[in-house]
Chains A and B, each alone.
Chain A
Amino acid sequence: MTTPYTLVDWVLGDGAGWLARFIGAILVWAVPITGFVSFVGLLSIWLERKISAHIQCRLGPMEVGPHGALQTVADGVKLLAKEDIIPADADRILFAFAPMLAFAGTIVGFAVVPFGPGLIVADLDIGLFYLAAVGSLEAIGVIAAGWASNNKWSLFGSVRAATQVVSYEIPMGLAFVTIAALAGTLSMVGIVEQQQGWIANWFLFRNPFTWVAFIIYYIAALAECKRAPFDLPEAESELVSGFHTEYSGMRFAIFFLAEYAQMYVVSAVAAVLFLGGWYTGIAPLDAAIGGGTAGMVVGAGVIVTKSFLLVCVQMWLRWTLPRIRLDQMMYLCLKVLMPFGMLTLVGSTVWEHFLPSPAIVKDGGGWTGNTVMTGVVVAAIGTVALVAYVRSVIRATPSLRAASNS
């Protein structure tokens, strides 16, 4: 296997030594990505405030900058200037180490998330597997934080985070395997390139089971980001503020940034796996843009837009759904999503065996007709069935029923 063409090679030329390449990688990738993460954090926090406000018929921040756009910057400055408080009986080293681990555990995910054609830090041969492996590092930071704080609410939050990790990882893995089996590769770039052409080529529409896999992945991703309805480790109304109760100032801000960065990572992965990555879904348009710099710029715009749309859906869900209980979270992940995930994996491979998508058009020809249409219809039926099932679960659970009625 030849070394894939990367931005570092492009900047330095081929003959650079390892030290130059190392420094080059820091300058070309690590610094801009940290900047991008900060930007994502600022934008997402502002979006979250505005979206939550509008969902609750409020205005949200309006004073600093146009429509409060600079409010987050002002808050960031405030957090920087705050006193750094460590509780007297805390495990000081772990207390300081936990936010770093959480942030680093999130940011390593960016290594395989493409920002556009050719704009990827490392197109690993095992990209998807890498993502599944490093996905739980952030949770270990959260667990460390809760333990080091020496506070019972924090510890409750940590134990909940640990429980959540072992629950959501399985359905998420099954959704990954479904796509890997279809794509025949674990490389993120390889997966995107199979979704070239019309929107029908996106893995979301490939067969009815991938549709279900997308829903499973998205629910599991919500749990990975600790977002409502899975914000159990935080649970403001029960645990003060869960694992970061004792954190203030910049350490708290780093946890916050890690959460928003992770929201972007899982959304970008959803865009790569199911929503065609950097392709617009309109074959002639992609062909007209072509490769090169124009393709890079447009592709980056497309994938970032898709990711941010999914981030907004996460926010929408957070301000719409009530928090579920811990046992309900385990029930949902292990007894609902996991069987559906297995069904999805088997169903998807069987479907591909008997009804292979023949004309998955590389050059942007016609729609694939029957296969795709059948897929869309059956996907609709599958979605209805899943919704009906979840509704029946809600009806059978008194507390959930009460929550959905109020």
Chain B
Amino acid sequence: MDWSTIMWWVMAAVTVIPAVMIVLSKDIVRLAFWLLASLTGVAGLYILLGADFLGFTQVLVYIGGIMVLILFGIMMTNRDAVLMRRGETSGGAMLTGVVIAAATALALLKVVKDTKWKEAAPVDMPATTARVGESLLTDYVLPFELVSVLLLIVLCGAAYIARRRPEET
């Protein structure tokens, strides 16, 4: 096995094992930290695929931003209430969950089986950042600008909702 295969297995384990632990974990804060590990694994897989920019965007956005906000939100809640106990899920909900999970797994397996995968030898990682930047400002400038405007609207909306209204003070 060459190093990229080994690293692929390592990263796959880092992604999948914490993902299973997220489902099994009872403590919501532990769960958040398992999510952190899983997201790191996904970032590692992106980097192994040669998408270094995407990989570190994953780290920046999900770990630096969203994880911090999730933890922030959890810490605002009561500690006793966040300890989820096992057995609270009713039988019906459990059954529905299992059926949906099995159906999703079957569909994904079928896609994996039916896709014609191309085998490619691992290559030296080309620099992607400059190309990403160029595409964003040439070929994909319209979607890029649209997403920017959308995010700006979201930002304004969030600020408006969170704003303290005069009558409430």
Contacts and interface: CB of A to CB of B under 8 A. Distances in A.
Interface of A: 1-3, 18-19, 22, 91, 93-94, 97, 124-126, 129-130, 132-137, 139-140, 143-144, 146-147, 150, 155, 158-159, 162-163, 165-166, 169, 186
B127 interface: yes
Interface in B98-140: 124-129
A129 B60 contact: yes
Interface in B59-73: 59-60, 63-65, 67-69, 71-72
Contacts of A186: 129
Interface string B22-51: 000001011001001000000000000000
Contact of A94 (B33, B65, B125, B129): B33
Interface residues of B, number: 30
A178 to B, nearest CB: 15
Given A1-B125, A1-B127, A134-B59, A162 B68 contact: yes
Given A143-B75, A166-B72, 4 more contacts: A129-B53, A132-B60, A150-B79, A159-B75
A125 B52 contact: yes
Contacts of A132: 60, 64
Contact of A133 (B36, B59, B79): B59
Nearest to B129: A126
A140 B64 CA distance: 8
Contact of B68 (A1, A2, A136): A136
Contacts of B52: 124-126
5 contacts: A132-B64, A133-B64, A140-B36, A140-B63, A140-B71
A182 B87 CA distance: 58
A245 B127 CA distance: 45
A3 B65 CA distance: 32
Given A22-B3, A125-B52, A125-B127, A133 B60 contact: yes
A135 B124 CA distance: 27
Given A22-B3, A125-B129, A155 B75 contact: yes
A140 B70 CA distance: 11
A346 to B, nearest CB: 15
A186 B124 CA distance: 19
Nearest to B127: A125
A179 to B, nearest CB: 15
Given A126-B52, A132-B60, A165 B129 contact: no
Residue among B68, B75, B76, B124 having the largest count of chain A Cβ atoms under 10 Å: B68
Contacts of B72: 143, 159, 162-163, 166
A3 B123 CA distance: 11
A143 B71 contact: yes
Contacts of B33: 94, 97, 144
B2 A18 contact: yes
A14 B108 CA distance: 42
B109 to A, nearest CB: 32
A329 B59 CA distance: 25
A162 B60 contact: no
Contacts of A133: 56-57, 59-60, 63-64
Contacts of B56: 126, 129-130, 133
A22 B63 CA distance: 26
A150 B53 CA distance: 38
Nearest to A173: B60
A136 B62 CA distance: 11
B2 to A, nearest CB: 7
Contact of A166 (B30, B57, B69): B69
A19 B7 CA distance: 12
Residue among A18, A97, A135, A158 having the largest count of chain B Cβ atoms under 10 Å: A18
Interface in B2-27: 2-3, 27
B75 A158 contact: yes
B65 A166 contact: yes
Contacts of B59: 133-134
Given A126-B56, A130-B56, A140-B71, A169 B64 contact: yes
Contacts of A163: 72
A94 B75 contact: no
Given A18-B2, A18-B3, A133-B59, A147 B71 contact: yes
Contacts of A150: 79
A147 B3 contact: no
A236 B98 CA distance: 50
B120 to A, nearest CB: 18
Nearest to B6: A18
A155 B74 CA distance: 11
Contacts of A166: 65, 68-69, 72
Contacts of B2: 18
Residue among A94, A134, A147, A155 having the largest count of chain B Cβ atoms under 10 Å: A147
B125 A143 contact: no
A342 to B, nearest CB: 13
A137 B63 contact: yes
A94 B36 CA distance: 13
Nearest to A17: B3
